[in-house]
Structure 1
């Protein structure tokens, strides 16, 4: 068998390097990807620190990682859209092909989802992507254009979260958009809003360095530090515009309330960030404005392809002429052998935005 070096979370505060057998082709449409780049997600850190996220509880060792890109190394006999050597972004969640959610076009809601590095309700731990070789069905891989780097391929996963939120909100040309939270998901959601044709995008956070980054990469037309004022000051900072779309990426009660307060009548509000517990909600103002509230969970049909198309268009004229400087979001890069150091760095909260780990050599 071919060895498959992997980064494994054994339990809270315990990560180790292990070597397993590499996966093999078992279905005609299987593809083996040699993983080259993997981003660290906040959910990875949550499992590392707490061993669970809601009902998803770590009960046995689990290979980490789900934001990855790589090179196709083997294909099954039924694969037609990819060939060995292609660069791909890996969509890490595969639903049951028999669920009502899958059949109705909402496969991200499938209760039998097999999602990389996420414990299932049955106690199984689908393997993550922080390994040398990863097996995926052909239709959950998206080919990367030649001018889109593997680093950007690793950013496709969190960008797809922003794409999904924008689609839920029916975000369209001319909308004014407020994004709460300037972490990786918020910055990518703001970037998507800008590229979808928003007339203005204001990013709200409490850290000036994050807000400066939102403007520097080209995602935000306006920024606002919510420590400096409330709804009136925020709207003033947005040149008097009450946003028609709110993308709430923090899960913080104060941000949710402020989002409703600043929203225009008829606004669409998408809850992207998760809260640790129940929050108070300004239901009366929400109702009298006839707003629409959307829950947003991961990504669904065509969101990955849309995210890849965003990178395709963004970089078609070269990095120096890209409308959004996504490269700035990658603040730290690590070799695979230093992956534990990478996790500790992100867990410590020492100013990293997106940390990318190379695949095993």
Structure 2
């Protein structure tokens, strides 16, 4: 892939307005003119190059809410973003115009107990791109706090840089699950988050990585991402196959990324006695039935995952190594003017779509 080189004179030619894809109501997106933001003293202005379409974006587009987060006014979606710095605030010293960057989308307060103990992903005051009421990155420019902007190497594409955000979820999932080199892991759901989790597990040294899904096309991509075995639930029995691939023991770590109640139950049955289960996917149901007796009998460690923290430098280093070509999960690319079409594609053609990228 040809890497686009920055134009260091771009900051002199910034317009006053930009195009933005705005969700005005459920299933309706309009391209509107918005003022280009002026960066504060501790911010940089970034020309957006690539943004990944996330499942959360689709939920807001299709339903207007996710749990307690409700779209109450027009909003710009998109939070998996990369771009190029075109202006820097007067107090910014470590970044400069022309740098190619990946963007961490959550601005936390830095003052609450969660932030102070290092788990800033739990900050109750976070301002997260494309989470109501905060606008996201399906637009030409955004201003971001400088500490949330991470330079990428020249060898890294803007597409890979945008995928650092979902890849961070995978890194955090295996970290929460305490995955050790040589261990076995099953990942329920080979959507984008499941795929990046498989890639993270491979780079962490997992010996056996079992990818599970209903779609064979996704399982084929899973093999490219690091899965050593796959299970197609349309054809195979989950428990039988897991036992076959783990010599009758079960996996050390089971990770659920599908947001499906049956997948949650599958993690409990797949994991070995004394193993760990990590729940990443957000189920549409608040309450999911699980076997408490199995959790107790196996003495399972059960953990939840909410976003990530302190992952971006590590993620950039891991993906720069090219041990896994994470771009193999990209199935479609659209221009900003075609964002509505991209959403409809994601909703109605799940068999042939994995990660859709928007290129402002």
Q: TM-score, normalised by structure 1?
A: 0.92
TM superposition shift of 1:43? 0.7
Match 1:276 to one of 278, 284, 292: 284
Please say if residues 223 and 237 of structure 1, whose CA atoms lie closer than 8 Å, have aligned partners that are also in contact. Answer: no
TM superposition shift of 1:25? 2.0
Distance in 2 (CA, whole Å) between partners of 1:285 and 1:345 is 40
Structure 1 SS opposite 2:19: strand
Residue 318 of structure 1 is matched in structure 2 by none
- Higher mean C-alpha deviation, range 15-24 or range 305-314: 305-314
Distance in 2 (CA, whole Å) between partners of 1:160 and 1:241 is 29
After superposing on structure 2, the runs of 4+ consecutive aligned residues of structure 1 that deviate more than 6 Å are none
Match 1:137 to one of 138, 142, 145: 145
Residue 232 of structure 2 is matched in structure 1 by 225
Distance in 2 (CA, whole Å) between partners of 1:187 and 1:50 is 25
TM superposition shift of 1:267? 1.0
Please say if residues 88 and 144 of structure 1, whose CA atoms lie closer than 8 Å, have aligned partners that are also in contact. Answer: yes
Please say if residues 224 and 237 of structure 1, whose CA atoms lie closer than 8 Å, have aligned partners that are also in contact. Answer: no
Please say if residues 202 and 238 of structure 1, whose CA atoms lie closer than 8 Å, have aligned partners that are also in contact. Answer: no
Please say if residues 64 and 130 of structure 1, whose CA atoms lie closer than 8 Å, have aligned partners that are also in contact. Answer: yes
Match 1:86 to one of 92, 99, 124: 99
User: What aligned pairs does 1:288-299 form with structure 2 within 5 A after superposition?
Assistant: 288-299=297-308
Distance in 2 (CA, whole Å) between partners of 1:164 and 1:208 is 26
* 2:64 is equivalent to residue 51 of structure 1: yes
Match 1:115 to one of 98, 118, 128: 128
Residue 10 of structure 1 is matched in structure 2 by 24
TM superposition shift of 1:81? 2.2
* 2:210 is equivalent to residue 202 of structure 1: yes
TM superposition shift of 1:5? 1.2
Residue 214 of structure 1 is matched in structure 2 by 222
Structure 1 SS opposite 2:251: coil
TM superposition shift of 1:256? 1.5
> Aligned residue pairs: how many?
343
TM superposition shift of 1:324? 1.7
Please say if residues 65 and 130 of structure 1, whose CA atoms lie closer than 8 Å, have aligned partners that are also in contact. Answer: yes
RMSD after superposition = 1.4
TM superposition shift of 1:237? 4.0
Residue 111 of structure 2 is matched in structure 1 by 98
Runs (5+) with no aligned partner, structure 2: 1-14
User: What aligned pairs does 1:310-321 form with structure 2 within 5 A after superposition?
Assistant: 310-314=318-322
Distance in 1 (CA, whole Å) between partners of 2:358 and 2:260 is 29
